[in-house]
Amino acid sequence: MILPGFWTGTSSMTTKTQFNGRSTADQVLAGRDLSARTVLVTGANGGIGFDTARALAAAGARVLLACRNREAGENAVARIRTRHPQARAEFLPLDLASLASMRAACATLSADALDTIICNAGLMAPSYALTAEGFEKTVGVCHVGHFALVQGLLPQLLASGAPRVVMVASESHRAPATLDFDNFPTREKGYFAMRSYGQAKLCNVLMANELQRRYGAQGLMSCSLHPGTMVTTNIGSESALVRFAMKLVSPFTKDCNQGAATSVWAAVHEPAAELGAQYLRDCRIDRATPEGRDAQVAGKLWDLSERWLAEHAAR
């Protein structure tokens, strides 16, 4: 079984970087002035999402913390401002399990410039559950919600000139090895949480690659990444088993500041084009699975996702 973020079967390719698997987000951003950038981070109220948002805000960026729970989101903003009094951190209400919430968030930002979206939020539903529109919840949140968000904010992204979309995937994209379009999202009969999570993370990789193919010529850079081995996150918030497993191995794994490092590295690395359609790990270019690199599969997933959004557009 591949637990969230756990895999030991690949080695990093060579990339020009001084950072590695033990680097922190603060180390990656040390000395950088991001005051000209606006970054949106989903799932930023806790775990690596919080440290991603905090480190970017500490470096001067205007950071939008997109979170489902208002109290948790506003508390995260307050914690950032307490640690970094000059930080420009703002709460943005966003429920990735609701396309209506997605449309409202995009409307709120319709006049805003936007340089980067870090699609960090994730979920692994322990039992079968549905989003507001009837998608299996793990895939609905991890993929459908992020797909709708990025689609809705493409005008603001492309207007920035050199936008970036960073998909926080996982080594769990390796299982199952292929995306079964005949049972996607997974139906209730035979539902298995880890299988659905693996599908969702594979979708993150495929979406990043197809986004690069479609919009790279307009200056956009899109990539996906593995944040680290069993980083403490909110991914298992609905599963006691996953929470226990993460706590058990936490002394041997990355902390949240280290888990956020590859996300912020992807957001600031130059030249950006070097990372386009790449899969990252430990602040380096790594290699996704053959399925994750399959352009035909990525295109098919994109077309299917667009049809889903079109079907629910008027609801």
- Three-class secondary structure of residue 130 per DSSP: strand
Q: How confident is the model at residue 101 (pLDDT cuts 50, 70, 90)?
A: very high
Q: Which two tokens stand for residue 155?
A: 């005008």
- Which residues are catalytically annotated? 197
In whole angstroms, what is the distance from residue 166 CA to residue 222 CA? 6
Q: How confident is the model at residue 232 (pLDDT cuts 50, 70, 90)?
A: low
Q: Which two tokens stand for residue 24?
A: 């922190």
Cα separations in angstroms, 164 against 91, 92, 272 = 20, 19, 8
Q: CB-based burial of residue 111 (10 Å sphere; 0-12 exposed, 13-18 middle, 19+ buried)?
A: exposed
- Three-class secondary structure of residue 233 per DSSP: coil
Q: CB-based burial of residue 216 (10 Å sphere; 0-12 exposed, 13-18 middle, 19+ buried)?
A: middle
- Three-class secondary structure of residue 62 per DSSP: strand
Q: Which residue has the higher pLDDT, 252 or 300?
A: 300
Query: At residue 23, does pLDDT exceed 50?
Result: yes
pTM greater than the 0.85 cutoff: yes
State the CATH class of domain 25-309: alpha beta
Q: How distant is the alpha carbon of residue 224 from its chain centre?
A: 8
Domain map (residue ranges) of the chain = 25-309
Q: Which residue has the higher pLDDT, 95 or 248?
A: 95
User: What pLDDT does 5 receive?
Assistant: 41
Average pLDDT over residues 222-233: 83
